[in-house]
Structure 1
Amino acid sequence: MASLKDVAKLANVSLMTVSRALNEPQRLKPETYTLVMAAVEQLGYVSDLSAKKIRGAKSTVSTIGVLALDTMTTPFSVDITLSIEETARAHGWNSFVVNMFANDQPEKMVDLLLAHRPDGIIYTTMGLRKVPVPEKLLTVPCVLANCESTSVAVPTYIPDDEEGQYLGVKALLSKGYRKLLCIHLPDGIVATSRRRAGLERACREAGVDPDSLLHHYLPEGEQHHIDAAHFVTAHIDGNRPAFDAVVCGNDRVAFVVYQVLLARGLRIGQDVGVLGYDNMVGTGELFLPPLSTVQLPHYEIGRLSALHIIHGSQHRDTLKVASPYLPRRSF
């Protein structure tokens, strides 16, 4: 990553002149300012907000910068950034977060992040998704957490969604359930096809044809879980369901399913089994009966991503983090 000194050398001016061009351009001659900014543009220099580089000082504490795309807008993903901070502190590092929202300009947010001169960067998102990785992020060690690159090979830590769904459905089938209503996440979501693959693997192992099951995909949107109510009621005649268990795309879907089943006088865990996914923060045990679900390993993803940078790991592989099944009493 280019430094202030690199800019001064290319423009053939002093460090003070570069500093003035960045902070007090009115004090320079127009031709000098133009010369310096041409060097800034050529080198891709990002100004250092801490100004330590101008003084030649070096921090004794290493820092992880976190670029968080929508991560802080939901309780489901906050464990990632919490884990990064706790892991960094435990190893004598610091961390900071730059939040990026859907309407932000990625280039500006990346520049803001790099202006703090992090020793490594973790790019994380709310919900597993594929993202382009800005080239500027690669000027320092960079790790993806809960997202995958659409462009270059970057070390990546993601949930093992296929194995997690496999374990949950395998447990469900082991209890004798066979007529499953499967309410999948929207078709365009990265995790959807992987979880269905896990479901189908568990079914085939148990001698159940996965194509014989009832399958529905939720529509896209923030409130897609509400539509689960329509899928459930469409397969209930009075209080006689055409299914004996519901496999839910996430715990919010399971919450809606609970309400529909209970309103029809059906007993969860006895008349109908319910399997969730995510282990929604702080609520899994509040379901009555408590919801059997699969844990999204956000905390572990954050921890492993931070350790990757702290330990200076060199691999560029995509590592799947175990998503354990959590048995409770909903089947």
Structure 2
Amino acid sequence: MASLKDVAKLANVSLMTVSRALNTPERLRADTLTRVQAAIDKLNYVPDISAKKVRGSHATQNTIGVLALDTVTTPFSVEITLSIEETARAHGWNSFVVNMFSDDCPEMIVDLLLSHRPGGIIYTTMGLRQVPVPAKLLTLPCVLANCESLHEAVASYIPDDQQGQYDGVRALMAAGYRHPLCLHLPANHIAAARRRQGLEQACREADIDPDRLTHCYMELGDEHYRDIPAMVLANFSQGNPAFDSVICGNDRMAFLVYQTLLAQGVRIPEDVAVLGYDNMVGIGDLFLPPLSTVQLPHYEIGRLSALHIINGDAHKNTVYVPSPWLPRESI
């Protein structure tokens, strides 16, 4: 790959002149600028932006650094980083992602991120969670996407899980279903408690006591999805469901509920309705019948987080982003 020195040698100019051609071309004579640009084109030279930033030891104000805790490796939250990138480009900014795994040393990953001298930082996670925010991140404009700060006051953009579950359950009740079986995410998930609040609100508005419903919480760990069929079958009596609908903690649960019900000859939604949550990427419309669910607003979270940095917003509030209800044929 051609270097800055190669360009300077071919154009017969100094390194400073090449630097000016790249950064402040208006300061050069037209013929000098033309000669340098011709050398750049001939050598296919690509400027080393990160090296330039390190030499200058200052932030590049139109670059967003994304610290992604497990986010870019999963299909569930990849829209967050996609949205950040698209929003940044639409406003003349750039973005780059540094992925951090749960077993990484946070200090080393944060140093790697900051070595690129971003103008602002978005810290995002896969799955709503509370995180300690490294103090070094707060030396720059910083915002959290799909997570909340454990200690410091930091602006956060997160799904409105209570509203999303409320809208979904309200639609279920409006369709005439009155005896749901409630399958929740693990009890220690932040989203589980907030979604239950939305469920209870919708039930009370429909004159249904939520405490009289059957509530089952999945154990923590992906291996416990295999427990979902047993939870469903435990609420059968003489081969028939003792419920008229199933409220699922997410679409993965709903997938197992479908298999269990259909294997027992139960029709969806004629006998039992099914309500999902998340709108898992590329999956909802593949259910037969298509799954009614709630959209996790990951794309909008990414967009609003990027705009927070781009617009220089200074608030440190938690912003609850609406989670849209997606009616399909399972209700």
* Structure 2: distance between partners of 1:199 and 1:54: 51
* Structure 2: distance between partners of 1:53 and 1:94: 14
How far does residue 204 in structure 1 lie from its aligned partner after superposition? 0.2
Equivalent residue number for residue 250 of structure 1: 250
Give the letter aligned to residue 68 of structure 1. Answer: A
CA shift digits 1:173-214 (9 cap, x unpaired): 111111110000000101000000000000000000001101
* Structure 2: distance between partners of 1:50 and 1:73: 24
Matches within 5 A, 1:29-108: 50-53=50-53, 55-56=55-56, 62-108=62-108
- C-alpha contact 1:49 1:115 (8 A) present in aligned 2: no
* Structure 2: distance between partners of 1:235 and 1:57: 64
* Structure 1: distance between partners of 2:86 and 2:121: 16
How far does residue 61 in structure 1 lie from its aligned partner after superposition? 6.9
* Structure 1: distance between partners of 2:257 and 2:55: 61
The verdict on how the C-alpha distance between 1:152 and 1:265 changes in structure 2, with shifts beyond 3 A counting, is same
1:178 is paired with a residue of what secondary structure? coil
Equivalent residue number for residue 317 of structure 1: 317
Matches within 5 A, 1:141-160: 141-160=141-160
Give the letter aligned to residue 226 of structure 1. Answer: R
1:89 is paired with a residue of what secondary structure? helix
How far does residue 239 in structure 1 lie from its aligned partner after superposition? 3.1
Query: Which segment drifts farther, 65-74 or 126-135?
Result: 65-74
* Structure 2: distance between partners of 1:198 and 1:207: 14
1:309 is paired with a residue of what secondary structure? helix
* Structure 2: distance between partners of 1:149 and 1:189: 15
Give the letter aligned to residue 328 of structure 1. Answer: R
2:126 is paired with a residue of what secondary structure? strand
- C-alpha contact 1:125 1:145 (8 A) present in aligned 2: yes
1:194 is paired with a residue of what secondary structure? helix
1:119 is paired with a residue of what secondary structure? strand
CA shift digits 1:270-327 (9 cap, x unpaired): 0000000000000100000000000000000000000000010111100000001100
Unaligned runs of 5+ in 1: 1-47
* Structure 2: distance between partners of 1:137 and 1:227: 40
Taking only aligned residues, the RMSD between alpha carbons, in angstroms, comes to 1.6
Equivalent residue number for residue 13 of structure 2: none
1:51 is paired with a residue of what secondary structure? helix
Equivalent residue number for residue 270 of structure 1: 270
The verdict on how the C-alpha distance between 1:49 and 1:101 changes in structure 2, with shifts beyond 3 A counting, is farther
* Structure 2: distance between partners of 1:57 and 1:140: 14
How far does residue 171 in structure 1 lie from its aligned partner after superposition? 0.3
* Structure 1: distance between partners of 2:254 and 2:67: 31
Equivalent residue number for residue 280 of structure 1: 280
- C-alpha contact 1:157 1:318 (8 A) present in aligned 2: yes
- C-alpha contact 2:62 2:93 (8 A) present in aligned 1: yes
Query: Which segment drifts farther, 234-243 or 75-84?
Result: 234-243
Equivalent residue number for residue 40 of structure 2: none
CA shift digits 1:121-158 (9 cap, x unpaired): 00000000000000000011000000000010001000
2:146 is paired with a residue of what secondary structure? strand
CA shift digits 1:92-130 (9 cap, x unpaired): 111000000011010000000000000000000000000
Give the letter aligned to residue 111 of structure 2. Answer: D
Equivalent residue number for residue 130 of structure 2: 130
Instruction: Give me the TM-score of the superposition, normalised by structure 1.
Output: 0.83
- C-alpha contact 1:239 1:266 (8 A) present in aligned 2: no
Equivalent residue number for residue 9 of structure 1: none
Among the aligned pairs, what percent are the same residue? 69
1:274 is paired with a residue of what secondary structure? strand
* Structure 2: distance between partners of 1:194 and 1:170: 15
* Structure 1: distance between partners of 2:195 and 2:56: 51
The verdict on how the C-alpha distance between 1:54 and 1:265 changes in structure 2, with shifts beyond 3 A counting, is closer
Matched, 1:164 2:141: no
How far does residue 227 in structure 1 lie from its aligned partner after superposition? 1.6
Instruction: Give me the TM-score of the superposition, normalised by structure 2.
Output: 0.83
- C-alpha contact 1:61 1:94 (8 A) present in aligned 2: no
* Structure 1: distance between partners of 2:107 and 2:60: 28
Equivalent residue number for residue 174 of structure 1: 174
How far does residue 223 in structure 1 lie from its aligned partner after superposition? 2.9
- Number of equivalent positions: 284
Matched, 1:194 2:161: no
How far does residue 72 in structure 1 lie from its aligned partner after superposition? 1.7
* Structure 2: distance between partners of 1:313 and 1:330: 41
Equivalent residue number for residue 25 of structure 2: none
Equivalent residue number for residue 204 of structure 1: 204
How far does residue 256 in structure 1 lie from its aligned partner after superposition? 0.2
Equivalent residue number for residue 11 of structure 1: none
2:208 is paired with a residue of what secondary structure? coil
- C-alpha contact 2:61 2:119 (8 A) present in aligned 1: no
Unaligned runs of 5+ in 2: 1-47
How far does residue 230 in structure 1 lie from its aligned partner after superposition? 1.1
- C-alpha contact 2:100 2:109 (8 A) present in aligned 1: yes
